[in-house]
């Protein structure tokens, strides 16, 4: 390994150490360990460390084809320590500002979507529903009115048609001999009595059938 390669390896590992410190703070900021379940935190930690190890090895492979020396770990520690001493507070402040910026941008986007898209669509839908309900009520009122008119016309027509027949039948009935009318009345009363008798029997059977069985 040439001196140039060693120099590039040292610089890249110092940078990776500092980047690891920033990544670790970012990871802890978004993880919220106290609000997560332990098994989920454990799984995320494993994935985080695997990702960091693969990233460092990839940079090392690009710089010196993966040749691992002792000074590489020293360079990583120096980069991490330099980040903790010099950059950490500024980075955390920058991270919080970026988080607040994106939160504000998200809230602004949500408000714009609600005002420009959701609210107009909601009011248009409500207006259409109100119009349709008004039209439906109007049509129902018209239909009920026409039904009442037709019903009255039918009743009046039946009265007009049956009235002459009723008067003719009444005149014929009055012209019949009394012995015939009495026989017809007796037959009518007899049939009505039989019909009432059968209706009472049917009512008793239905009443017994509806009555719950005694335990």
**144-203 pLDDT per residue, tens:** 889 888 888 888 888 787 777 777 777 776 776 777 777 777 777 888 788 888 888 887
Determine what percent of the chain is predicted with pLDDT higher than 70: 93
Q: What is the pLDDT of residue 210?
A: 56
pTM for this model (two decimals): 0.54
Q: What is the pLDDT of residue 215?
A: 44
**118-145 pLDDT per residue, tens:** 888 888 999 999 999 999 888 988 998 8
Contact by Cβ (8 Å): 10, 75: yes
**10-42 pLDDT per residue, tens:** 888 888 899 899 999 888 888 877 777 888 888
Contact by Cβ (8 Å): 31, 44: yes
**69-117 pLDDT per residue, tens:** 787 888 889 998 998 888 899 999 999 999 999 999 999 998 888 888 8
Domain residue ranges in the chain:
3-109, 178-215
Q: What is the pLDDT of residue 209?
A: 63
């Amino acid at each position: 390994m040439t001196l140039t390669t060693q120099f590039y390896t040292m610089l890249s590992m110092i940078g990776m150490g500092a980047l690891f410190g920033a990544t670790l703070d970012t990871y802890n900021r978004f993880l919220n360990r106290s609000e997560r379940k332990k098994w989920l935190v454990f799984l995320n930690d494993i994935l985080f460390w695997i990702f960091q190890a693969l990233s460092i090895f990839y940079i090392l492979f690009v710089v010196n084809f993966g040749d691992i020396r002792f000074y590489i770990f020293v360079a990583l520690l120096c980069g991490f320590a330099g980040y903790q001493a010099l950059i950490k507070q500024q980075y955390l402040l920058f991270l919080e500002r970026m988080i607040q910026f994106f939160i504000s941008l998200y809230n602004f986007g949500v408000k714009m979507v609600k005002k420009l898209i959701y609210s107009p669509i909601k009011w248009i839908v409500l207006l259409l529903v109100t119009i349709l309900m008004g039209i439906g009520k109007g049509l129902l009122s018209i239909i009920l009115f026409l039904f009442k008119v037709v019903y009255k016309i039918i009743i009046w027509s039946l009265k007009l048609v049956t009235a002459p027949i009723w008067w003719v039948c009444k005149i014929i009935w009055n012209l019949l001999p009394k012995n015939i009318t009495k026989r017809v009345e007796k037959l009518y009363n007899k049939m009505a009595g039989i019909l009432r008798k059968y209706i009472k029997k049917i009512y008793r059977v239905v009443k017994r059938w509806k009555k719950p069985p005694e335990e």
